[in-house]
Structure 1
Amino acid sequence: MSTAEEQFPPLDLRLTEENPEDLYEYAPCGYCSCLPDGTLVKINQTLLGWLGYAREELVARRCFQDLLTIGGRLHYEIHCVPLLMLQGQVRELSYQLRLQSGGTLPVLMNATMLYDAHAQPLVVRITLFDITERRLYEQELLRAKAEAEDQREQLGRANEQLTSKNEQLIRINAELDNFVYTASHDLKQPASNMLGLFEELKRTATFNDPEAAGMVNMFDNSLRQMLSTIEELTEVVQLQRQLEQVPVEAIELLPFTEEIIRGLEQPLYEPSADFILDFAAVPTLRLSRPGLHSVLYNLLSNAVKYAHPSRRPRVEVRTTLVEGTPVLSVRDNGRGIDLQRHGQELFQLFRRFHPEVVGSGMGLYLVNRLVNQAGGYLEVDSVVGEGTTFRIYFPS
């Protein structure tokens, strides 16, 4: 005996003793036979059970087409019977059986025509499969498809609305930029004239009031602050327009950042700061040079400007890769920002969180705008009295 034969148990011969009549009567599908005109001559118990009829109620008394709905009967007589006569068989035609209870049962029909010795049609053998679950599944698919199409239409309408809103916002932003640029440009000359006239007034006029000196100083500071704000507004719009025309390039961060730091070494910043630079993870970034310069300059100058008065400023500038995304971080040990109180307005225009330090409140607004324009986004961690960390996620 071979190894393959040893793997299987001996065949139980009782399994071969099935009654052919039982196989026909209780098959998992419906069987029936009818004459060419449709008169039923044989029907199995499975089909009788589906229909709810006794055998004597159907055999030799009813036609097969009587078991179908009106639409199904028309289709059977007009379409199915001619096909049977022409090609001798039909496959997978869908019908609804009419049950004695008044309900219907969806079935899939296969039929074969048998002929006598003279090639005349003798009998039609029909096999029927219950497709109730299949029909329910198809209906569920159709329902899901309809819902998906409805959701797609809703999404399409929402996208159209978002596109319209986006175009509207772009237009409004462009109009605001034009307004800011025009207004700041038109105000700059009068403000400069006022400052010049006031300088001449201080040089030539005599004030006898003992409080005049303080008032003159306050007025002078206000004029200079106004002129500085106007110039910075003009710079914001000009830089925005320049970046739209400047191509991106691969920028080596170490020499680029060192050059910015050298520009910060002014007597204004005391004591001088310690800078720690680490760009090993991402040595270069592909960005527009003016945009990156403005972002780094504002973050580094703020790190030094808002240094804690009791310790030497320490600024760490690093790059890392987070799930393939380049991240540039600037961390300081300065005064910190109360994010619970000011987090929502951190990047808004003219917002200042340390009034004791001179500033215009435009630096972080400009940084956020430039980062968004480059396709990135900002994250901020800060603890009051300990320092602040800005992390810029750039598109990879």
Structure 2
Amino acid sequence: MSAAENEPLPEFDLRLTQENLEELYEQAPCGYCSCLPDGTLVKLNQTLLNWVGYSREELVARRCVQELLTIGGRLHYETHCAPLLLLQDQVREISYQLRHRDGTTVPVLVNATLVRDANQQPLVIRFTLFDITDRRKYEQELLRAKAEAEERREQLSIKNDQLTRINAELDNFVYTASHDLKQPASNMVGLFEELKRTVTFHDPEAACMVTMFEDALRQILSTIESMTEVIQQQRQPEQLVPEAVELQPFTEDILRTLQAQVNPSAVFTLDFAVVPTLRISRTSLHSLLYNLLSNALKYAQPGRRPHVWVSTTRERSGPVLLVRDNGRGIDLQRHGQEVFQLFRRFHPEVAGSGMGLYLVKRLVNQAGGRVEIDSTVGEGTTFRMYFLE
């Protein structure tokens, strides 16, 4: 025997051991009753009497347990609960509504046990009833919240379908308009070239006007081509199949084209050591890198040699692609909410369509990522594109 078992028991207040069993039955937190096999009530505790609003004398030997239930509960008891008791001697957690004498109801869960005599004949049925009013209110609140959520979801689905249809119609309109305008604009370019070749302008201001007209034509064609590119990206998402793209050779190919077209003196620093490959559609990656890199050269700070850094890093969510330049920068306090919007331009002195950054954001989002920008006027801009693994 252990030392702990040899220790004397602590002294108890003897009143704690003198519980009145009858009082425990009468004032129990649940309802108790007993009835004959036909349902005639023979005993009820005070808790149950309080729930139904009757005195003991009004119920014992005068009413059946079924009469304490609503009509639906009574039918269920007689057709389901009573036969089940005879079959297996017990039932568990059946939900009923107790009917108070004033017409109100109390939701309860009922457990019942059938006691048999020595000859295995049914003798008495003992019921235990638990008040589930608070539980029922909670369930009803859940059901109401669920119904409201489903209604909101249905409304959102309808609105999403409407927006999808409107976007598709707008895309079709923009695609058709850009397609139909491209040929007349190209014809205007050809006609103007022929006009310059065959006509002599004697007005000294004519040369300036010719240059302005050429710039306007180029701007029109650039805008039309950008609109067409945006819509084509939207119309062909099934062609944007992600694959593992090696960033170093892929970026170098883009840079060779850009340096020859825009600024051969620009310096590019590439560092893809942390994340050498990126899983993304090659078409999408080409479009977003081409737009960011061409913008870095186009919006270079006058008097400063363009320098562009392209690199990768990794965060918890996945790889990050960075493009940083030392160009003119953007005043984010004024234009921070507009940077990635369509047709927004922040340096009107430089030709552009205002679609490049909109397309970049759209492509990154389409790949399941997001794009962020940091910029300081006169110092440069950094784009961070976060992708999922």
User: Is the contact made by 1:195 and 1:220 (CA closer than 8 Å) also made in structure 2?
Assistant: no
Partner secondary structure for residue 336 of structure 2 = helix
The residue correspondences of 1:1-396 to structure 2 (distance < 5 A) are: 1-2=1-2, 5-6=5-6, 9=9, 29-34=30-35, 40-44=41-45, 47=48, 59=60, 62-65=62-65, 68-69=68-69, 71=71, 74-75=74-75, 78-79=78-79, 83=83, 86-87=86-87, 89-92=89-92, 94-97=95-98, 104-107=105-108, 108=110, 110-115=112-117, 123-129=123-129, 131-132=130-131, 134-201=132-199, 205=200, 207=202, 212-227=203-218, 229-230=220-221, 233-234=224-225, 237=228, 241=232, 244=236, 245=239, 247-266=241-260, 269=263, 272-348=265-341, 350-396=343-389
- How many angstroms apart in 2 are the aligned matches of 1:43 and 1:246? 74
User: Is the contact made by 2:66 and 2:77 (CA closer than 8 Å) also made in structure 1?
Assistant: no
User: Is the contact made by 1:281 and 1:320 (CA closer than 8 Å) also made in structure 2?
Assistant: yes
Shift of 1:158: 1.5
User: Is the contact made by 1:32 and 1:127 (CA closer than 8 Å) also made in structure 2?
Assistant: yes
Partner secondary structure for residue 295 of structure 2 = helix
Partner secondary structure for residue 346 of structure 1 = coil
Select the structure of larger CA radius of gyration. Answer: 1
Q: 1:376 to 1:3 in 2, by over 3 A?
A: same
What letter is aligned with 1:262? R
Per the normalisation by structure 2, the TM-score is 0.78
Shift of 1:35: 5.1
What letter is aligned with 2:268? F
- How many angstroms apart in 1 are the aligned matches of 2:341 and 2:44? 84
- How many angstroms apart in 2 are the aligned matches of 1:31 and 1:73? 18
Partner secondary structure for residue 265 of structure 1 = helix
Q: 1:64 to 1:370 in 2, by over 3 A?
A: closer
Instruction: Encode CA deviations 1:58-110: one digit per residue, 9 max, x unaligned.
Output: 555x3344862462795498448963995584534555555577755555252
- How many angstroms apart in 2 are the aligned matches of 1:77 and 1:294? 72
User: Is the contact made by 2:262 and 2:297 (CA closer than 8 Å) also made in structure 1?
Assistant: no
Q: 1:196 to 1:369 in 2, by over 3 A?
A: farther
Sequence identity of aligned pairs in percent? Answer: 45
- How many angstroms apart in 2 are the aligned matches of 1:267 and 1:164? 43
Deviates more, 1:364-373 or 1:3-12: 3-12
Partner secondary structure for residue 213 of structure 1 = coil
Deviates more, 1:274-283 or 1:356-365: 356-365
Q: 1:50 to 1:347 in 2, by over 3 A?
A: closer
Partner secondary structure for residue 355 of structure 1 = coil
- How many angstroms apart in 1 are the aligned matches of 2:150 and 2:194? 64
Per the normalisation by structure 1, the TM-score is 0.77
- How many angstroms apart in 1 are the aligned matches of 2:99 and 2:368? 65
Shift of 1:148: 0.3
User: Is the contact made by 2:85 and 2:91 (CA closer than 8 Å) also made in structure 1?
Assistant: no
What letter is aligned with 1:220? T
- How many angstroms apart in 2 are the aligned matches of 1:267 and 1:125? 95
Shift of 1:253: 1.7
Shift of 1:389: 1.4
- How many angstroms apart in 2 are the aligned matches of 1:54 and 1:321? 76
Partner secondary structure for residue 204 of structure 2 = helix
Shift of 1:192: 1.5
Shift of 1:28: 5.1
Shift of 1:381: 1.6
Shift of 1:173: 0.7
Instruction: Encode CA deviations 1:8-31: one digit per residue, 9 max, x unaligned.
Output: 948979787766656655555544
Q: 1:250 to 1:17 in 2, by over 3 A?
A: closer
- How many angstroms apart in 2 are the aligned matches of 1:73 and 1:306? 79
- How many angstroms apart in 2 are the aligned matches of 1:149 and 1:303? 52
Structure 1: which 5+ residue stretches go unaligned?
Answer: none
Q: How many corresponding residue pairs?
A: 383
Q: 1:3 to 1:261 in 2, by over 3 A?
A: same
What letter is aligned with 2:248? L
Q: 1:383 to 1:115 in 2, by over 3 A?
A: same
Q: 1:74 to 1:235 in 2, by over 3 A?
A: closer
Instruction: Encode CA deviations 1:108-154: one digit per residue, 9 max, x unaligned.
Output: 2525354477x776x5343332x22x243034213312330332133
